[in-house]
Amino acid sequence: MSAAAKSVHKSFRVRTFRPPPLSPSAIALLVVGLLFLVLQLVFAPRPLGLSTDEATYLAKVDPSAPELYWTQPRAWGIPVLAAPVALFAPGLTVVRAYFSLLSSTLLIAAFWPWLRVLGAGVAPLAALLFSTTWFTLYFGPQVMPNLYVGLGAVGAIGMFLRAANSPRWWRYGLCGAAAALVALVRPTDSVLALAPVFLWALVVRRLRNFRLLAALAGGVIIGWLPWIAEAFVRFGNPITRLRTAEKAGPQGLSLDITNLLIYPRLLDGAPLYCCATGAPSAGGPIPLSFAIWLVAATVVALIGVILASRRGQWPEMLLIGSAAVSVAGFYLLLPSFTALRFLLPAFALIMLPVAVLLAAPLQVRGGPTRALAVGAAAAAVIAHLGLMVPKAESKLDHDAQSRRQSLRIAASLRPYVHGRPCLILGREAQTTAYYLKCQVQRALPTARAPRRVTRAQAHDVVVVAVLPGRPAADSYMASWRELSLKGLSKGVRAYVPPDQEGR
């Protein structure tokens, strides 16, 4: 072969793509994501019944189930995330496994940009601390939005900082995609978490990149679009929908520092939600060990912010801190209804400065001081795991027991309903209706039958009321006959209209 031919042949040689080798921190982050998945698969009981919220989200995209109550505050993000499995109605086990895999994958994706932003070891350690917090593990396999708001916010802010330091078009796109996820899942939370990014990016020169800000804004707008479109079609307009959503809680939104006394009482998960009356005592006593954990995490996070700022990473800490304070401040001070899951985005963010401090010994040279610091950091992580992981397991087991009632009710009613069009009323109505693919009516026995009940009877729809006892003598159900069913919980009874054809 001539020299010229060899040159041409060489120029057309296929080059194999070799991805860059993974850093130790990247490998550690992958291991953390795998650990998060394994813990969920091990701890989540089978079956872990659905909550009312979960059934509502799944019914939105399950073609075999009628839509349940879709209220103004709800958004389309979780139905979109659930659609790949809900479309096939595969059963609880597959749904739980899918969301365990999804949350673990997004955990890795959310903290991946931080590998190059905050230094060696910080991203995997922050992901470990957040993913092993009991309420993160608890909501990992569940069809609920707040975890994905937190992961989306961490990913969006991390990718924003990464793109600001090293601009690439695809980083702009990923930043916008993460912002779109946050807005799609909970539109109003996207404002709380990402508005500080816009503010400080305009103030701090190192962060000022208008193309990047446009990508972030575009993602937020895209995420809001389904909510806005639905507001016009179903709820009048977006302003009306927002105002109605604001009043969805027992007392709507109003400044109330009582929540500051309630949230510490929820740290052990008993109760999981609180409190219609707003009385701190309804949340039970303050759990000492978890209160110490909260104080320690806050102090360590503040020291981590100071340490990172001294290293020149104050813009990064500014974005993390302002976003976490914005989310936490809103939910700590305004809603009359409190739940620990509302603070998941704030906890996801503050674990980054916590990890900055705990990973600091890995970034200095050896010596007795370093060895002591490594030991202290390791002890803190072990104490965190020892407190949180057993609590996650016990909380999942406890709630699995309480959710089995609707599974038993559905199993008992299934032979009677036998796949016919049906309407479920009363106790555990939402979840029972989803399991049976029925419509639902939440009204308890009243003097006059709701329109949906009379319409169902007129169209030969199977109507079943599941009640904790006999219906009141002055209610429209007084003449209904009781079904003799096996498997119902003690005290639970099922009633059908007297003229309804049954088995």
Q: Terminus-to-terminus CA distance in the chain, angstroms? A: 88
Amino acid at 216: L
**Which sequence spans correspond to the domains of the chain?**
24-363, 404-496
Instruction: With beta carbons less than 8 A apart as the criterion, state whether 456 and 476 touch.
Output: no
Confidence of residue 45 (pLDDT cuts 50, 70, 90): very high
What's the pLDDT at 305?
A: 96
Instruction: With beta carbons less than 8 A apart as the criterion, state whether 407 and 488 touch.
Output: no
In a 10 Å sphere around its CB, with 0-12 CB exposed, 13-18 middle and 19+ buried, how is residue 415 labelled?
exposed
Q: Spell out a b/e string for 300-314, using b for 16 or more CB atoms within 10 Å of the CB, else e.
A: bbeebbeebbeeebb
Spatial distance between the Cα atoms of 503 and 492, rounded to a whole number of angstroms: 20
Q: Enter the tokens of residue 379.
A: 């002890």
Whole-structure pTM value: 0.92
Longest Cα separation, the chain? 104
Return the closest-CA partner of residue 67 out of 258, 234, 245, 199.
234
Return the closest-CA partner of residue 440 out of 462, 407, 472, 408.
462
What's the pLDDT at 22?
A: 85
Return the closest-CA partner of residue 387 out of 104, 101, 42, 137.
137
Task: Work out whether strand 439-441 and strand 422-426 pair parallel, antiparallel, or are unpaired.
Answer: parallel
The stretch 439-468 carries a mean pLDDT of: 87
Residue scoring higher pLDDT (7 or 480): 480
Q: Enter the tokens of residue 376.
A: 């202290």
Question: In whole numbers, what is the pLDDT of the chain averaged over residues?
Answer: 90
The stretch 121-150 carries a mean pLDDT of: 97
Spatial distance between the Cα atoms of 116 and 387, rounded to a whole number of angstroms: 30
- pLDDT above 60: residue 17: no
Spatial distance between the Cα atoms of 378 and 342, rounded to a whole number of angstroms: 29
The stretch 72-89 carries a mean pLDDT of: 93
- pLDDT above 50: residue 136: yes
What's the pLDDT at 213?
A: 96
Return the closest-CA partner of residue 402 out of 50, 37, 129, 57.
50
- pLDDT above 50: residue 250: yes
What's the pLDDT at 8?
A: 47
Spatial distance between the Cα atoms of 467 and 441, rounded to a whole number of angstroms: 13
Residues 6+ apart with CB under 8 A from 2: none
- pLDDT above 70: residue 249: no
